[in-house]
């Protein structure tokens, strides 16, 4: 089964008074680019989170959002920054003296000053935090993989249709290629006849004409390219029907197919085949764009 790189997954769970919510979003990227946003107290788990994402999602620009809420009694503490509180109090007193006002500030007003009171959640040990958070992460990954699988199936079906269209063009070129030398011979004979008239056979004998046709046929021969292209198409189909991460392999196969098509276009020396080549390159570009969406 092939997977798209685009998807969204979500999972949540509650342990005693702690609620965990994990959301994962992913879009296309050549590599596995992971961004994790989570409470500072749980940052020790970021390495394990990245490892799980890399192992299971393989590729994509992946954003992981972790929300943790703890509403239980005794699970948080408030710390007083005594030195800062004294400094605020002295500063307020000094302002009152400088401006000739009465210093009527109370403890509540000092407490509201920035960083005087600091609320901290009672942190779990790394083992306790991992035991609660990582299963929720796994569930979120399962959820996004379901979406990526559905999108991946749609992409593969669309790609197989495009491959069929490309195969039809390949078959048309294969039928056309053997006719090119014969048509060149006829054009060559007509040109010689027009130029030399009744002296054509004397100046340009049959052996010389056939030798030139043979040289032309050798230069425009594309049998090898067509055979290799046929092999690449079979590999493309087999890979599309495979499982796991197939995007990079498909990209490589497509590069080889594009190389063979370019060679056919440069060697064919036939306007009909050239038109087919243009259509084939257009179809390959459509396939390439879709492949960029697969993991």
For 18-125, where are the alpha helices, taking DSSP H only? 46-57, 82-99, 107-111
Report the C-alpha gap between 167 and 46 in whole angstroms.
Answer: 47
- DSSP-derived 3-state class of residue 259: helix
| Local structure of 236: helix, strand or coil | helix
pLDDT at 242: 86
Q: Which residues of the chain have pLDDT under 50?
A: none
CA angle 235, 241, 243 (to 5 degrees): 110
Contact between 53 and 34 (Cβ < 8 Å): yes
Q: Which CATH number fits domain 7-71+125-148: 3.40.50.2300, 3.30.230.40, 3.40.50.1100, 3.40.430.10?
A: 3.30.230.40
**Count of other CB atoms within 10 angstroms of residue 211:** 11
- Looking at residue 63, its pLDDT comes to 97
């Amino acid at each position: 089964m092939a997977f798209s790189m685009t998807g969204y997954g979500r999972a949540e769970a509650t342990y005693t008074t702690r609620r965990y919510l994990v959301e994962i979003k992913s879009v296309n990227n050549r590599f596995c680019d992971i961004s994790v946003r989570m409470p500072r107290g749980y940052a020790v788990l970021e390495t394990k989170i990245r490892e799980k994402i890399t192992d299971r999602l393989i590729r994509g620009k992946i954003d992981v959002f972790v929300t943790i809420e703890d509403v239980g009694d005794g699970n948080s503490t408030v710390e007083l920054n005594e030195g800062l509180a004294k400094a605020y109090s002295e500063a307020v007193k000094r302002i009152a003296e400088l401006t000739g006002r009465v210093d009527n500030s109370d403890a509540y007003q000092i407490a509201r000053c920035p960083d005087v009171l600091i609320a901290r959640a009672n942190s779990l040990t790394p083992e306790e935090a991992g035991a609660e958070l990582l299963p929720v992460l796994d569930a979120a990954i399962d959820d996004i993989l379901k979406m990526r699988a559905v999108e991946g199936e749609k992409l593969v079906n669309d790609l197989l249709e495009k491959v069929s269209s490309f195969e039809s063009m390949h078959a048309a070129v294969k039928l056309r290629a053997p006719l090119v030398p014969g048509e060149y011979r006829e054009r060559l004979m007509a040109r010689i006849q027009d130029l030399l008239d009744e002296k054509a056979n004397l100046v340009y004998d049959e052996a010389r004409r056939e030798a030139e046709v043979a040289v032309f046929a050798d230069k425009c021969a594309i049998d090898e390219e067509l055979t290799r292209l046929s092999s690449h198409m079979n590999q493309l189909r087999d890979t599309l029907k495979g499982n796991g991460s197939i995007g990079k392999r498909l990209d490589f196969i497509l590069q080889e197919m594009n190389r063979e098509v370019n060679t056919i276009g440069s060697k064919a020396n036939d306007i009909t085949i050239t038109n087919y080549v243009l259509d084939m390159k257009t179809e390959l570009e459509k396939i390439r764009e879709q492949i960029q969406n697969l993991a």
